[in-house]
């Protein structure tokens, strides 16, 4: 595709509900990142994949957060038993190996009520 | 936790004026990048400056980097209404992880 796409763009969840956020990176991009952006703040790193391998998940805030990229392309960020503090924009980015510029998707805005 | 801090938090200028924003960071870096984010949209990469560079230009953008002071500045010359956005600096300390500041919100008045 032309750029990184994410779905859904907006998600409203009731507290305790599980959600799944999808990221389609740019075709051929080896590396994929997830970030969380709270209102009025900059993005914060969550996790990083190189192909299907999750090389760094140090930014995941709790064990309720889980990310996967089973075939090295599309990635899913899953949040179990959502809490109000999970409300944020979740951004996905990809880059070609050995390049430094990350290309961001439009984000998924999650609101937990 | 966020590595960078932008200053000011918000900036309002007249169309045609220059806008300057600063970024300070805490640890040694490989490179520093500036991104723009329009309301409700994703981030767009503007410019990257490596730790061994002091100044870089791209169109109406000028970025400086002072590694001794652990600071960077972004100058937008001859601003336009379309420059209204939030601007973030991000530092890279290894091959991949970016640490963002809280951003500067720029409003360009017509």
Read off the pLDDT of residues B54-91 as tens digits, 9 standing for 90 and up. Answer: 999 999 999 999 999 999 999 999 999 999 999 999 99
- CA dist B88 and B101 (Å) reads 6
- CA dist A40 and B95 (Å) reads 27
B40: left (phi over 0), alpha (psi -120 to 50) or beta: left
Determine how many CB atoms are found less than 10 A away from the CB of residue B69: 9
Average pLDDT on B32-37 reads 95
Q: Which residues contact A78 (CB under 8 A, 6 or more apart)?
A: A18, A19, A20, A21, A65, A66, A67, A68
Q: Which helix (H) or strand (E) holds A77?
A: strand A75-79
Residue B15 predicted with pLDDT over 80: yes
- Is residue B10 within 8 A of residue B105, CB to CB? The reply is yes
Residue B51 predicted with pLDDT over 60: yes
- Tell me the shortest Cα–Cα distance from B17 to chain A, in angstroms: 25
Which of B2, B43, B58, B86 should be substituted to probe chain A, the one whose Cβ sees the most A Cβ atoms within 10 Å? Answer: B43
Residue of A101 and A20 predicted with greater confidence:
A20
- Residue B80 phi/psi, 5-degree rounding, is -125, 160
Banded model confidence at residue B95, pLDDT cuts 50, 70, 90: low
For chain A, the first-to-last Cα distance in angstroms comes to 33
Record: contact A42-B101, CB cut-off 8 A: yes
Residue B40 predicted with pLDDT over 80: no
Residue A99 predicted with pLDDT over 70: no
The pLDDT value recorded for residue B96 is: 77
> Which member of B44, B88, B96 has the closest CB to residue A42?
B88
Nearest residue to A109 (alpha-carbon basis) of A87, A85, A93: A87
Average pLDDT on B2-9 reads 80
Average pLDDT on A74-82 reads 98
């Amino acid at each position: 595709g032309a750029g990184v796409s994410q779905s859904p763009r907006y998600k409203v969840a009731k507290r305790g509900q599980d959600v799944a956020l999808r990221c389609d990176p740019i075709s051929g991009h080896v590396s994929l990142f997830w970030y969380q952006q709270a209102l009025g703040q900059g993005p914060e790193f969550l996790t990083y994949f190189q192909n299907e391998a999750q090389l760094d998940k140090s930014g995941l805030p709790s064990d309720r957060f889980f990310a996967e990229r089973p075939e090295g392309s599309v990635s899913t960020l899953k949040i179990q038993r959502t809490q109000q503090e999970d409300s944020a924009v979740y951004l996905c980015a990809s880059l070609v190996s050995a390049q430094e510029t990350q290309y961001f998707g439009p984000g998924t805005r999650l609101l937990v009520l | 936790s966020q590595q960078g801090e932008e200053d000011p938090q918000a900036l309002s200028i007249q169309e045609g004026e220059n806008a300057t924003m600063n970024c300070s960071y805490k640890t040694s870096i490989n490179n520093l990048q500036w991104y723009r984010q329009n309301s409700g949209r994703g981030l767009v990469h503007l410019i990257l400056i490596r730790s061994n560079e002091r100044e870089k230009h791209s169109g109406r953008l000028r970025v400086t980097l002072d590694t001794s002071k652990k600071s960077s500045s972004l100058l937008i010359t001859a601003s336009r209404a379309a420059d209204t956005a939030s601007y973030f600096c991000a530092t890279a300390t290894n091959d991949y992880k970016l640490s963002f500041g809280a951003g500067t919100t720029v409003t360009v008045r017509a």
